[in-house]
Amino acid sequence: MQIWFVTFPTLKVAYNLKEGLRDMYLCKTREQAIEYYRQWKSSIPKDMQPFLDIAKIIDNWSTEIFNYFDYFVTNAFTESINNLIKHIEKAGRGYSFEVLRAKVLFGTKATIKPKFGEQAFGPMDNTFSNMLYGSFNYSPPKLIEGFGVSIPQLLKVIERDEF
């Protein structure tokens, strides 16, 4: 790569900027990441407009981007679902994005149905009078496992055109 960098010095600057931004994700805290980003942003030469554009995007989405350093969780799952939905949308089915999202989440063979525990009822003796007089104790079933979509299963559904 050094030969390329000697021949094309702008390439070296771009490469170092790219690597520098990537290294921001090695920071352990939000504060470290913000300070690192400020230093990285100030190192962008004025003639590197694409990196100035990236810095502007980061500035506009700074809350969301730097939240990563509080929780170390990304929205990759959501983005992958959205990309799958857009793929289906491009297939020309004619549904809106919102309808397709609902179908993916709630209406395919890949949908994971919620699982509930048993309902908790109060005393079973004289149930009718308990209901009349308000002493019947009921608590809704507890959600044991939530719903969602199995991505590998959804891919199979799409590949088999079973959507």
- Do residues 84 and 154 touch, judged by C-beta distance below 8 A? yes
Quick one: average pLDDT of 41-59?
Answer: 97
Closest of 2, 22, 21 to residue 11, by C-alpha: 2
Tell me the pLDDT tens digit for each residue of 119-141.
Answer: 555 555 555 555 555 555 556 66
Q: Give 91-103 pLDDT, tens digit per residue.
A: 656 778 788 777 7
Please state, in angstroms and rounded to a whole number, the distance separating the CA atoms of residues 76 and 34: 22
Q: Give 61 or 146, the one with higher predicted confidence.
A: 61
Mean pLDDT of 38-50: 97
Q: Is the overall model pTM greater than 0.95, yes or no?
A: no
Query: How confident is the model over 71-87, as pLDDT tens digits?
Result: 888 888 778 878 877 77
Structure tokens at 160: 């088999």
Dmax of the chain from CA atoms?
91
pLDDT higher for 63 or 145?
63
Distance CA(104)–CA(82), nearest Å, equals 10
**CA dihedral over 10, 14, 20, 24, signed as positive or negative:** positive
pLDDT in the model for residue 72: 84
